[in-house]
Structure 1
Amino acid sequence: MQIIHENEYEETMKNTVEPYLSARRRELYVPGADYPFRNENKRITGKIHMLQYLSDAPKGVVVISHGFTESAAKYDEVAYYFLKEGYHVYIPEHCGHGRSYRLTADPSLVHIDTWRRYIRDFLKACRYIKKAHPELPLDLFAHSMGGAIGGIAAAWEPDWFHKVILSSPMIRPLTDNVPWPAATGIALEKCILGKDEEYVAGRKPYDGSGSFETSTATSKPRYERYKNLRAEHKELQTWSPSYGWLWASAEMSWYLRLYGWKKYTAPMLLIQAQTEDLVSVRALKNFAGKINRQGKTSCDYIHMIGTKHEIYGSRGKILEKYWGYMLAFLDDEENDTDRR
């Protein structure tokens, strides 16, 4: 595969990648899942915004589960590479992100009322995808928060997914300088007191700040491209978590670490960044280890040298290795689900 290098990034994205994607892109809105909650306030449903890219010669389908505060637009380059390798690509935007429905009017705030909403919505999108392409295997590529959502979805419906790639997945989030038990305790207290839509302490609305040096990417052109897109489009300006989101992230973490790992049947590839400030590396290693010890399926574990949390936003030489690992995993017939 030919990776786009930094010295040609801006020009190639503008003149090659964007026209290529535009010719194969379709915008979809899929109804969100229904929620049988007793609390009427939690019966809110809306439409999931999803981008569809159709390959010229498909051999499979990849559904992308994006991370916290991200959107489908951030995955243009990722979608391009998968398309060139013969995969249809679908990118549903999670509730509260991009053009999908939201539970709060504040465009900067990422808020959710229950973690199950993320999973049910994502599976609703996957059901649409599987129905559209019943003859093709469905693979999952999931990053960070999307790794928690996609990881639980693959645990709930293990037979739906042919192979699973988790890139810096949020098996357990890191909570800055606040110990994990204290952070989750504060989040629960806020939710009980009806303050679940408040910003987590120390977080603020989007103001256009942020720098490459403090970011979780290692390629400046890639970082700058999405920073500029975000500044131009209000729907991309999700920025900070609510206490409701923090509590939901804790519940997703507990589910994955206590129950989810037992349910997988699809081969899994888990890729860890070298410099990781957002998710617990110890939790990643324990998660992969438990899957492998159980023996129902395999979880290949790769430590990517020279990377930060957003491994897909790395420099060209590192991306060549990253994509080499992922494509070899997807193409390996020996670890196909059907052969296990």
Structure 2
Amino acid sequence: MSSNFATWLTREKEFSAFATGPLLDFWRQREENHFAGVDGVDIHYVRFTAAQNDSVILVSPGRIESYVKYPELAYDLFHCGYDVIIVDHRGQGRSGRMLEDPHRGHVQHFDDYVEDLHRLYQLEIAPRSYSKKFLLAHSMGGAIGALLLAKYPQTFDAAAFCAPMTGIYLRIPSWISRRILNWAENRPPRRDGYALGTGHWHPLPFLVNGLTHSRERYRRNMRFYADYPELQVGGPTYHWVRESIEAGMHILQQAENITTPLLLLQASEDRVVDNSSQLAFCQAMAVAGHPCEGGKPLVIEGARHEILFERDDLRAKALDAIMRFFARH
């Protein structure tokens, strides 16, 4: 068990004092930078480093997220002895957009995310003499991470995926969604428009959110988007949904090429990604001869989609599992 476990278990009780004290002091030490991603799209990222750290964790966030949302996680990882790098994927956060409406969640090719992340690896991690290199990914970031591990198998010593988007949770039958997406794909105004039932970003009250049980963390995250409107991203485009569904299928096809030790954490109350696809992914990894840690997802019972932003007991369990897993590799 991590030496920080007891602290993680009791943080919400004095969350405001923590956020305006130690966490704010830590955040002020950040190094922000950017580089040209695929097709020249500006990709932003943040670094936290210390001379005594000889290991690094690259964090790949989920859809619509920015590193501005991740100070607490960066704080915890850093105080476990790791340098930390967090990327803003193209089309979100402080990184460049590809459509005139910045609220539309969009990507031309899902592989662009993968290549951006690999360029960041080559820029900030490969040239440095880290003894260990780890990948920590959430949701869409997990899909990006899985494809990166399949394409560049020697990049990381181990990886942990939290609620990875190996499949999207759809409320309509897949055959209907395929017909809609194929119809929209051949009509550019529709293809690049908001997917059915989505639109501009707007805040939801805590009581109706489906992401976390932590009131403190949810309110803090909503304040980030309110205070920095340029970070706001709304619903995905039809093309993004189509690319992401195909990416999920590609992940299953490429599972045999993923040889990096992998821990997959699953949220039992997830309504954003398809948990059955995570089981299928772990099964494909096992068939290929390099199973996920434990041979199946580590289920965080009671957790919603944002496991690392959950209430203290659920978050501490997940973070402790990740830290112990990385320590073994």
Instruction: Work out which of the residue numbers 258, 262, 265 in structure 2 matches 1:264.
Output: 258
Q: Distance in 2 between matches of 1:311 and 1:103?
A: 29
Tell me which residue corresponds to 1:107: 102
Instruction: Work out which of the residue numbers 29, 32, 37 in structure 2 matches 1:32.
Output: 37
- 1:304 matched to 2:300? The reply is yes
Give the direction of change, closer, same or farther, for the CA distance of 1:287–1:141 in structure 2 (3 Å limit).
same
* Identity fraction in percent: 25
Taking structure 1 as the reference length, the TM-score comes to 0.90
Structure 1 stretches of 4+ with a deviation exceeding 6 A read none
- What one-letter code is carried by the residue in structure 2 that aligns with 1:14? T
Q: Distance in 1 between matches of 2:213 and 2:202?
A: 22
Classify the secondary structure of the residue corresponding to 2:108: coil
Q: Distance in 2 between matches of 1:211 and 1:240?
A: 19
Q: Distance in 1 between matches of 2:204 and 2:305?
A: 19
Q: Distance in 1 between matches of 2:178 and 2:213?
A: 30
Segment of structure 1 superposing worse, 13-22 or 165-174: 13-22
Equivalent pair of 1:53/1:83 in contact (CA under 8 Å): yes
- What one-letter code is carried by the residue in structure 1 that aligns with 2:321? Y
Q: Deviations over 1:116-138 (max 9, x none)?
A: 11111111111112234233322
Q: Distance in 1 between matches of 2:178 and 2:56?
A: 36
- 1:125 matched to 2:120? The reply is yes
Instruction: Work out which of the residue numbers 309, 315, 318 in structure 1 matches 2:314.
Output: 318
Q: Distance in 2 between matches of 1:180 and 1:235?
A: 34
| Pairs within 5 Å for 1:77-116 | 77-116=72-111
Q: Deviations over 1:200-250 (max 9, x none)?
A: 011111233443432311101000001011011122210210011101101
- What one-letter code is carried by the residue in structure 2 that aligns with 1:254? M
Q: Distance in 2 between matches of 1:207 and 1:292?
A: 41
Classify the secondary structure of the residue corresponding to 2:107: coil
Segment of structure 1 superposing worse, 224-233 or 299-308: 299-308
Classify the secondary structure of the residue corresponding to 2:131: coil
Q: Distance in 2 between matches of 1:163 and 1:182?
A: 38
Equivalent pair of 1:184/1:250 in contact (CA under 8 Å): no
User: How far did 1:197 drift?
Assistant: 1.1
Structure 1 unaligned spans of 5+: 34-43
Classify the secondary structure of the residue corresponding to 2:277: helix
Q: Distance in 2 between matches of 1:45 and 1:144?
A: 25
Instruction: Work out which of the residue numbers 20, 29, 32 in structure 1 matches 2:26.
Output: 20
Q: Distance in 2 between matches of 1:100 and 1:238?
A: 12
Equivalent pair of 1:31/1:47 in contact (CA under 8 Å): yes
Q: Distance in 2 between matches of 1:210 and 1:110?
A: 22
Instruction: Work out which of the residue numbers 121, 132, 140 in structure 2 matches 1:137.
Output: 132
Segment of structure 1 superposing worse, 107-116 or 270-279: 107-116
Classify the secondary structure of the residue corresponding to 2:161: strand
Give the direction of change, closer, same or farther, for the CA distance of 1:155–1:122 in structure 2 (3 Å limit).
same
Structure 2 unaligned spans of 5+: none
User: How far did 1:316 drift?
Assistant: 1.2
| Pairs within 5 Å for 1:189-268 | 189-194=183-188, 195-258=190-253, 260-268=254-262
Taking structure 2 as the reference length, the TM-score comes to 0.93
Classify the secondary structure of the residue corresponding to 2:305: coil
Aligned residue-pair number: 320
User: How far did 1:63 drift?
Assistant: 0.6
User: How far did 1:69 drift?
Assistant: 1.0
Q: Distance in 1 between matches of 2:179 and 2:122?
A: 35
Instruction: Work out which of the residue numbers 123, 141, 144 in structure 2 matches 1:146.
Output: 141
- What one-letter code is carried by the residue in structure 2 that aligns with 1:307? A
Q: Distance in 1 between matches of 2:317 and 2:67?
A: 23
User: How far did 1:320 drift?
Assistant: 2.0
Q: Distance in 2 between matches of 1:272 and 1:11?
A: 30
- What one-letter code is carried by the residue in structure 1 that aligns with 2:109? T
